[in-house]
Amino acid sequence: MRLVSGIEGLYPTEISTSECKQRAGRAGRVKKGWYILCSERGIEDRLDFPDPEIRRLNLENVVLRMFTWGLSPLEFSFFHKPNRGLLLKAIQSLKTFGALSADAENRVTADGRRMAELPLSLRSARLLLEAEKGGPRVVDRALKVIAIFETRGVVSKEFAGETYSPSSFKSDLLNQLDLWEDQRRNGRLISNKKSALAREIYNELKKRLAIQPARGTLSQNEQKHLFRAILSCFCDGVYFKGEGIYWREGEERQIERTSILNQARPEMVVGLPFDLVINREDPRTGVKEEKYIPLLTFCSEISLQQLEEIKPFSYEKIRRVTLQEDRLRVSEEVFFGSRLIKAVAVEPDWQNPGEQHQVLTLAIGWFEKNYDQLPGCGEIEKNRAWFAEAERALGEKLPPFASALRDYLYRQLRRSLKIDDLRFFFQFHPALHQLSLRQLLPYRWLKKLKDARWPGELEIKEMHIPVEHIDGRPFLKLDHAQFHRLEASDVRLPSGEAPGFILQGERYRGWAEAAAAYNDLLKEQIFQRKWQEAKKNVQVGDILDVPFPLTFQGGNGKDNAVFEFYSAPAFEDDKVVLFHFRTREEAQAHFSGIASAWEERKTRHRKESMDNIFRGKGWKVK
């Protein structure tokens, strides 16, 4: 037995000179005998002594006991100093199985102290500790499983991997346990020698641990506890199905022939890796060769659903929030035995405050990093300038602008961030395009600014517009020329309050009222300039079917208001002209006065048109 790259294996090894002499010494002890060295290598080509076990076997229990005694195995002066790599591998295994703390201090945990007291390997100790959570009957079966495991199986060469366990959990150890407990019926499949050794280990463990046998069939819940304990002791050995093999992190193995999983070949298994190297002679060529067989032993079938349900030792599911370029990513990572088993992309859990905070913090960090490239940065800079002006107006220090902006963004994102594309979100979300101090400052500061009658003026489109405060409300004082240059989106106070307007001395409570008054004035001006004195000659035949008064568009006002004017026919001598009117009422009043004359004119025109048609055909018309 050797430990190579952290994996136990059975290797053919040339014995040392001292071992040759020891065995030769046995010849002739009872009667005459000979010792024959059956090897192509002579005694002089061998090592003087074999490698000590401390340099070739697993050191987990040795290292754990040394830490328990307060000794550091990495600094201890051994008689035969083991390979440092074996010591580090043992320390890592102790951390994986929970015997040592996961940090660099290598503190022995409470489980580690229990494990150090048990006469078991680290893996078997973990199994027993987990089994204790299931009750006496689970512990009794766990001791039998440990005995089977420490004996390296109790089945004979005739066993070919048939399933005998009725359990819904597929496990080689559970299968061998059921075979062993029903040895009378399955005697052909059980190795007597291994069975006797396992029985001896089982009895010794019961005696040393003072555990009484617990009889009776395991309930479904107890079977679940036992299987959980088995999975826990193999938490470092998760393998995934590949092309004819099982693999993990570049390591490929085949399930041993006696495993019950050879037929089903599940997607994921746990098991104990074991290397077998044999020397053999090719029967066809006679060439001697060394064959290396990487095996996976004592396998159990597992799945992500099963791990989530059973939650064996060291199983952990972590949701991780990351930022990849402009996109937020939430992944769910499943760990077992400190190894990442699977990671899948999932939707953010907005009901989880911790995850929501991670998402929002990353989003705000992205915003601050890409701030200059976003269309809302001009709006933010305007508010930054307002902050500075407000501080000068009050003579006091306001909260830091960056903190106020960050708090505001956090609140907005918490309500409305439902997509992962941050660039798209920040480019089009209205929160950054209509920003004011109302969103950034607490009410007490806004009230102070209002009481200070700030601001005294606004600069809009290079115009300095006075702000008058009347009955606690701000009004912008403008003339018609200034108002004509403004749009509703231009008019914003730092406080976010909607102002009133004083337009040419007339007061209006809001933009809509002021725009309506301005539109009336503008409409009158357009009518006087373009339509009041204008008239248009028309042919009666062109307007026979036109309903009067006729509506037409004559320009636009504020907020894209359409100005409508009206026209109606009138008579000048024998001609017909269209007159224009500002309102429908005016046009209707005019048209009502000439309606009968208009109908007579249309009738006469139709008769004249008909007569002309007949005359064109050569008819005489009376």
Give residue 6's pLDDT. 56
Residues 6 or more apart whose Cβ sits within 8 Å of residue 291: 277, 278, 279, 280
Closest by CA position to 370, among listed 423, 328, 323: 423
d(CA 165, CA 293): 28
> Do 220 and 156 reside in the same domain of the chain?
yes
Residue 95, domain member (yes or no): no
For residue 399, give the 3-state DSSP assignment: coil
Q: Which pair of structure tokens corresponds to residue 262? A: 């050879």
Amino acid at 430: P
pLDDT at residue 116 tops 60: yes
Q: Are 140 and 214 in contact (CB under 8 A)?
A: yes
Q: Any bridge partners for residue 270, and if so which?
A: 238, 300
Amino acid at 162: E
> Do 253 and 394 reside in the same domain of the chain?
no
Mean pLDDT of 386-399: 91
> Do 445 and 461 reside in the same domain of the chain?
no
Residues 6 or more apart whose Cβ sits within 8 Å of residue 521: 480
Residue 42, domain member (yes or no): no
pLDDT at residue 39 tops 90: no
> Do 287 and 384 reside in the same domain of the chain?
no
Count of positions (residues) in the chain:
622
Around 391, how many Cα atoms within 13 Å sit in the side-chain half-sphere? 10
Mean pLDDT of 142-146: 95
Give residue 165's pLDDT. 87
pLDDT at residue 213 tops 80: no
pLDDT at residue 435 tops 80: yes
d(CA 123, CA 231): 11
d(CA 125, CA 111): 9
> Do 160 and 294 reside in the same domain of the chain?
yes
Mean pLDDT of 384-409: 92
pLDDT at residue 112 tops 80: yes
For the chain, what is the largest distance between any 2 Cα atoms, rounded to a whole number of angstroms? 167
Q: Any bridge partners for residue 280, and if so which?
A: 289
pLDDT digits 0-9 by tens, 46-55: 888 888 877 7
* Of 133-142, 442-451, 612-621, the least confident: 612-621
Closest by CA position to 348, among listed 334, 371, 366, 330: 330
Q: Taking the mean position of all CA atoms in its chain, how far away is CA 261? A: 34
Amino acid at 316: E
Q: Are 581 and 533 in contact (CB under 8 A)?
A: no
Residues 6 or more apart whose Cβ sits within 8 Å of residue 364: 406, 409, 410, 413
Residue 161, domain member (yes or no): yes
Strands 500-503 and 473-478: parallel
In the numeric block, the tokens 């002066």 are attached to 77
d(CA 300, CA 246): 13
Give residue 3's pLDDT. 59
pLDDT digits 0-9 by tens, 332-356: 999 998 889 999 888 888 888 999 9
Residue 100, domain member (yes or no): no
Residue 236, domain member (yes or no): yes
Q: How many domains does the chain divide into?
A: 4
> Do 230 and 136 reside in the same domain of the chain?
yes
DSSP assignment string, 451-520? HTT--SEEEETTEEEEEEEETTEEEEEE-HHHHHH--GGG---TT-PPPEEEETTEEESSHHHHHHHHHH
Give residue 7's pLDDT. 60
Q: Where are the alpha helices (DSSP H) in 151-191?
A: 172-181
Torsion angle defined by CA atoms of residues 526, 529, 531 and 536, in that order, rounded to the nearest 10 degrees: -150
DSSP assignment string, 437-457? HHHHS-HHHHHHHHHTT--SE
- Single residue among 436, 451, 466 that ends a domain in this structure: 451
> Do 150 and 263 reside in the same domain of the chain?
yes
Mean pLDDT of 294-319: 93
Q: Are 198 and 210 in contact (CB under 8 A)?
A: no
Mean pLDDT, the chain, rounded, equals: 89
Which sign does the torsion angle of CA 90, 94, 95, 100 carry?
Answer: negative
pLDDT digits 0-9 by tens, 514-559: 999 999 999 999 999 998 888 899 998 889 889 999 999 988 999 9
> Do 160 and 242 reside in the same domain of the chain?
yes
Give me the long-range contacts of 587-593 (CB less than 8 A, separation at least 24): 587/548, 587/549, 588/549, 591/548, 591/549
d(CA 366, CA 371): 8
Mean pLDDT of 599-603: 90
Q: Which residues of 365-389 are buried (b: 16+ CB within 10 A; e: fewer)?
A: ebbeeeeeebebeebbeebeebbee
What is the residue range of 564's domain? 524-616
Work out the percent of the chain whose per-residue pLDDT is above 70: 98
Torsion angle defined by CA atoms of residues 269, 270, 271 and 275, in that order, rounded to the nearest 10 degrees: 70
> Do 533 and 580 reside in the same domain of the chain?
yes
Residue 195, domain member (yes or no): yes
d(CA 578, CA 571): 9
d(CA 383, CA 391): 12
Closest by CA position to 134, among listed 232, 228, 207: 228
497 or 13, greater pLDDT: 497
Q: Which pair of structure tokens corresponds to residue 267? A: 């997607």
pLDDT digits 0-9 by tens, 492-506: 899 989 999 999 999
Other CB atoms within 10 Å distance of the CB of residue 560: 6
Amino acid at 84: R
Most confident stretch, 78-82, 209-213, 600-604 = 600-604
Element (H, E) at 322: strand 315-324
Residue 406, class by beta-carbon neighbours within 10 Å (0-12 exposed, 13-18 middle, 19+ buried)?
Answer: middle
Give residue 4's pLDDT. 60
Residue 89, domain member (yes or no): no
d(CA 379, CA 439): 13
> Do 404 and 471 reside in the same domain of the chain?
no
Give residue 621's pLDDT. 64
Residues 6 or more apart whose Cβ sits within 8 Å of residue 92: none
Q: Please state the three-class secondary structure of 563-617 as a single string.
A: EEEEEEEEEECCEEEEEEECCHHHHHHHHHHHHHHHHHHHHHHHHHHHHHHHHHC
> Do 124 and 269 reside in the same domain of the chain?
yes
Residue 138, domain member (yes or no): yes
> Do 254 and 220 reside in the same domain of the chain?
yes
